């Protein structure tokens, strides 16, 4: 099952072209509905796929965590995705997808895997409200296969947040100190959990923020802000002092968004920071190649604040110099 994994560099080049590879999998036919839905996960996050070894039950494990498996000497938590998604399959899941998110490793227990599908990010759409609510907000994007089946892309960051203590450390937020001036940051992320974490960080810093659900949403908002600045005869950087963007997003990824911002003279002087759970050197290099001013791995409130402050201070010095 490991043979389908190709090099990180290949996938990074795909991402830089607004393309990705999605591993399709099933959580089994639901006994209650008789349906077998198709789900997807970005292959970039997948380390390996294998038959589940013996799972050690953990009595104090959080809800949704089946237990632990030993992978090459490391104990890795296993999230039972059918149970987490309230699906009761006709047979128990026996495949694990080992993933890396936010510098953590975990295994997702699924019923079966199909194949890898290569597609454009703009083929992935924001899910309609009915579908989003049906899955409890766990779906971050949807797309249609040539055979008419709908693929639902899981918000794995939300799954990990709700199934474990992942992303729930509030002590970091308490240590943050507010900036001594008012600034505005526009940020884009398709994960509701990530958006909440970013909002909490920016609120603690006393920073105004504009939230966007993906790169296309962010680009449209930036164009609106540019029109407002033009009408007020102001440079755009007086209205927005920084752009913070995830990489993996439906409709337009963070690489394409950054490239568009950096190639548009209206947004000269506005730094772009990439904020992603893709922390490999190849991803950082790709971010630099499209003009990103910094790259911050998810998710540490202190690291994010530490990356934002110097750039915002630099912005402030520019503004002061322009006024003298």
Domain with 304 in it: what CATH number?
3.40.50.2300
Residues 127, 201, single domain; the answer is no
Structural domain count of the chain = 2
Q: What is the 3-state secondary structure (H, E, C) of 232-284?
A: CCCCHHHCCCEEEECCCCCCCCHHHHHHHHHCCHHHCCCCEEEEECCCCHHHH
Which residue, chain included where needed, has tokens 């607004």?
18
What are the pLDDT tens digits along the chain (324 aa)?
Answer: 444 455 545 555 665 667 788 899 999 887 777 778 899 988 878 888 999 888 888 777 776 788 899 988 888 999 999 888 888 888 889 999 998 876 788 899 999 998 888 888 888 888 887 766 666 678 888 998 888 888 999 888 888 777 665 444 556 677 777 776 678 999 999 988 889 889 999 998 888 999 999 999 999 999 999 999 999 999 999 999 999 999 888 889 999 999 999 999 999 989 999 998 766 666 777 888 889 999 988 888 888 888 888 887 776 666 666 666
**Separation CA 245–CA 248 (nearest Å):** 9
Which residue, chain included where needed, has tokens 């439906």?
250
Which token pair is 284? Answer: 């950082």
Residues 228, 134, single domain; the answer is no
Q: State whether residue 190 is helix, strand or coil.
A: coil
- Cα 124 to its chain centre, rounded Å, is 14
Of 141, 163, 185, the position where a domain reaches its end is 163
DSSP element (H, E) containing 162: helix 156-163
Residues 180, 149, single domain; the answer is no
Q: State whether residue 321 is helix, strand or coil.
A: helix
Residues 14, 151, single domain; the answer is yes
Residues 210, 145, single domain; the answer is no
Residues 289, 253, single domain; the answer is yes
- Cα 310 to its chain centre, rounded Å, is 24
Residues 121, 42, single domain; the answer is yes
Of 163, 197, 225, the position where a domain reaches its end is 163
**Separation CA 77–CA 231 (nearest Å):** 54
Question: What is the Rg, in whole angstroms, of the alpha carbon atoms belonging to the chain?
Answer: 21
Residues 252, 288, single domain; the answer is yes
Nearest CA-CA partner of 256 in 229, 274, 238, 271: 274
> Phi then psi for 60, rounded to 5 degrees?
-100, 20
Contact 245, 258 (CB under 8 A): yes
Residues 65, 147, single domain; the answer is yes
Residues 63, 136, single domain; the answer is yes
Please report, for the domain that includes residue 23, its CATH number: 2.40.50.180
Of 145, 163, 181, the position where a domain reaches its end is 163
Domain that holds residue 201: 171-323
pTM: 0.78
Residues 26, 138, single domain; the answer is yes
Residues 190, 293, single domain; the answer is yes
């Amino acid at each position: 099952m490991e043979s389908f994994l190709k090099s990180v560099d290949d996938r990074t080049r795909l991402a830089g072209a607004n393309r990705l590879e999605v591993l399709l999998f099933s959580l089994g036919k639901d006994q209650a509905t008789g349906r077998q839905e198709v789900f997807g996960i970005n292959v970039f996050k997948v380390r390996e796929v294998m038959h589940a070894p013996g799972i050690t039950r953990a009595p104090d494990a959080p809800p949704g965590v089946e237990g632990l498996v030993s992978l090459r000497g490391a104990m890795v938590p296993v999230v039972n995705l059918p149970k987490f998604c309230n699906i009761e399959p006709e047979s128990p899941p026996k495949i694990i997808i080992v993933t890396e998110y936010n510098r953590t490793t975990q295994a997702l227990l699924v019923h079966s895997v199909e194949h890898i599908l290569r597609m454009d990010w703009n083929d992935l759409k924001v899910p309609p409200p009915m579908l989003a609510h049906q899955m409890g907000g766990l779906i971050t994007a949807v797309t249609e296969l040539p055979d008419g089946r709908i693929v639902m892309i899981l918000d794995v960051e939300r799954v990990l947040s709700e199934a474990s203590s992942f992303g729930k450390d509030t002590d970091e937020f308490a240590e943050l100190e507010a900036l001594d001036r008012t600034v505005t940051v526009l940020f884009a992320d398709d994960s509701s959990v990530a958006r909440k974490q970013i909002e909490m960080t920016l609120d603690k810093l006393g920073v105004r923020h504009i939230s966007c659900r993906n790169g296309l949403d962010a680009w449209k908002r930036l164009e609106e802000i540019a029109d407002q600045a033009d009408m007020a005869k102001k440079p755009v950087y007086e209205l927005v002092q920084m752009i913070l963007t995830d990489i993996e997003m439906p409709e337009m990824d963070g690489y394409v968004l950054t490239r568009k911002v950096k190639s548009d003279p209206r947004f000269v002087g506005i730094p772009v920071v990439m904020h992603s759970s893709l922390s490999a050197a190849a991803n950082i290099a790709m971010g630099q190649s499209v003009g990103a001013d910094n790259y911050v791995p998810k998710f540490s409130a202190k690291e994010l604040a530490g990356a934002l402050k110097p750039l915002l201070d630099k912005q402030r010095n520019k503004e002061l110099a322009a006024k003298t």
